[in-house]
Amino acid sequence: MTELTLHLAGVSCGGCAQRVNAALAQVPGVVKSEVNDDRTRVVVRGEALERAPLVAAIVSAGYQVLDSAAIPLTGV
């Protein structure tokens, strides 16, 4: 099983997190997705996952996926 973590923007409530999870559930190969408590990341688990279809599903649901290289490190 493959696991991918994507950084999110615009997910501001529990309903938004549910919409992200519902959108990801429609992507072939996705077994489970979980948006973290502060709604800044989603962990996606499944078979033969590719980033592009996951990002497309999240964007089509109305949210953004941030490039992990653009995320500032805090506490360093």
Render pLDDT for 28-75 as a digit per residue (tens, 0 to 9). Answer: 999 999 999 999 999 999 999 999 999 999 999 999 999 865 554 444
Q: How high is the pLDDT of residue 67?
A: 83
What length is written for the chain? 76
Q: Within 13 Å of residue 66, how many CA atoms lie on the same side as its CB?
A: 14
Predicted model pTM: 0.87
- What are the phi and psi torsion angles at 71 (to 5°)? -80, 120
2-67 folds as: Alpha-Beta Plaits (3.30.70)
Question: What pLDDT sits at residue 76?
Answer: 42
Q: Where are the domains of the chain?
A: 2-67
Please name which of 7, 42, 1 lies closest in space to residue 25, comparing C-alpha atoms.
42
